[in-house]
């Protein structure tokens, strides 16, 4: 059985012309076009890194030549490997991707379903914490809200909120249902202990339709710099080590990218759940 945890620091990646053109050549043409439509450079970089992470996994762990990889998305947005392909003996992989803040992360398991989600522990928008929580009321059960509200300071409450949110996101991404799933059907009972850098939190239990589910395993990885040891932090050269161009170099792709504004920098604290 195989297991992969990779991370790439999009936030600190300042691509050179040659790096960006290489990356653009090594993804499918429609992916390159979609990435080019992002307004901000940070979003384009995150999307590009995500596609390269997926292709690296399929090439190196599933034994499919880079040029033969065809990635598509389900109607719910979950990436999958399109047929026909000649898969090596290492088959049965499930993989999932997430990116926000400083990181793009990939989790993959052989023979098991997997989902991953990474979130910044900062409040989106300009609303207060109570207003933000009010908007999100229906996404959590009464028990979960009790846990969140009893966390302590506003920062601790936000951290507890995002810990619950990433757990829910990772689960629905693993089963491939998308956000149409009623999130109140799942209730998380967190493992004891406070999140801390370098510590992987295990022992969280999930209740589905009020019944405890024993077959699911959840891990929470608090992230700042560097990422947790359970994730391998890749350089750009490692990210593209197995890559081969799918299209010819397009200088206009670089010209378009370098004119993009970088989005305002926000807090780097994040949490990953798988």
Confidence of residue 140 (pLDDT cuts 50, 70, 90): very high
Q: Residue 146: is its pLDDT beyond 90?
A: yes
- How confident is the model over 103-129, as pLDDT tens digits? 999 999 999 999 999 988 777 676 788
Average pLDDT over the chain reads 87
Quote the pLDDT of residue 267. 42
Q: What does the alpha-carbon distance between residue 100 and residue 169 come to, in Å, rounded to a whole number?
A: 13
Do strands 186-189 and 205-208 pair parallel, antiparallel, or not at all (unpaired)? antiparallel
- How confident is the model over 5-19, as pLDDT tens digits? 999 999 899 999 999
Quote the pLDDT of residue 205. 95
Quote the pLDDT of residue 80. 80
Q: Is 94 exposed, middle or buried (0-12, 13-18, 19+ CB in 10 A)?
A: middle
Quote the pLDDT of residue 258. 95
Quote the pLDDT of residue 224. 64
Q: Residue 266: is its pLDDT beyond 60?
A: no
The angle, 0 to 180 degrees and rounded to 10, between the axes of the packed helices 41-62 and 29-36 is 160
Ordered domains of the chain (ranges, CATH): 3-273 (3.90.470.20)
- How confident is the model over 178-216, as pLDDT tens digits? 667 899 999 999 987 666 666 788 889 999 999 999 999
CA 246 from chain center: how many Å? 25
- Whether the model pTM is above 0.85: yes
Confidence of residue 169 (pLDDT cuts 50, 70, 90): very high
- How confident is the model over 39-80, as pLDDT tens digits? 999 999 999 999 999 999 999 999 999 999 998 877 766 678
Mean pLDDT within 225-237: 80
Structure token digits, residue 59: 């090439």
**Residue pair 239/57 in contact by the 8 Å Cβ criterion:** no
Confidence of residue 222 (pLDDT cuts 50, 70, 90): confident
Helix, strand or coil, per DSSP, at residue 224: coil
Q: What does the alpha-carbon distance between residue 238 and residue 63 come to, in Å, rounded to a whole number?
A: 17
Quote the pLDDT of residue 102. 87
Residue 102 host element (H or E) = none
Confidence of residue 274 (pLDDT cuts 50, 70, 90): low
Q: Residue 229: is its pLDDT beyond 50?
A: yes
User: Percent of the chain having pLDDT more than 90?
Assistant: 62
């Amino acid at each position: 059985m195989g297991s992969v945890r990779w991370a790439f620091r999009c936030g600190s990646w300042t691509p050179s012309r040659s790096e960006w053109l290489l990356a653009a050549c090594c993804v499918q043409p429609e992916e390159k076009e979609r990435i080019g439509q992002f307004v901000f450079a940070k979003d384009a970089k995150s999307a590009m890194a995500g596609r390269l992470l997926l292709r690296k996994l399929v090439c190196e762990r599933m034994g499919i030549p880079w040029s033969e990889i065809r990635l598509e998305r389900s109607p719910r947005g979950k990436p999958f490997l399109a047929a026909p392909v000649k898969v090596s003996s290492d088959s049965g992989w499930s993989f999932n991707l997430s990116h926000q803040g400083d990181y793009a992360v990939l989790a993959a398991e052989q023979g098991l379903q997997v989902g991953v989600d990474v979130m910044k522990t900062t409040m989106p928008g300009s609303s207060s914490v109570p207003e933000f929580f009010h908007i999100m009321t229906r996404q959590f059960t009464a028990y979960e809200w009790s846990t969140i509200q009893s966390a302590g300071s506003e920062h601790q409450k936000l951290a507890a909120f995002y810990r619950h949110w990433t757990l829910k996101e990772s689960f629905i991404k693993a089963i491939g249902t998308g956000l149409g799933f009623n999130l109140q059907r799942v209730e998380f009972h967190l493992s004891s202990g406070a999140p801390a850098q370098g510590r992987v939190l295990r022992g969280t239990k999930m209740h589905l339709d009020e019944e405890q589910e024993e077959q699911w395993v959840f891990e929470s990885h608090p992230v700042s710099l560097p990422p947790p040891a359970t994730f391998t932090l890749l350089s750009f050269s490692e990210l593209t080590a197995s890559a081969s161009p799918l299209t010819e170099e397009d200088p206009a792709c670089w010209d378009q990218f370098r004119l993009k504004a970088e989005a305002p920098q926000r807090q780097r604290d994040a949490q990953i759940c798988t």
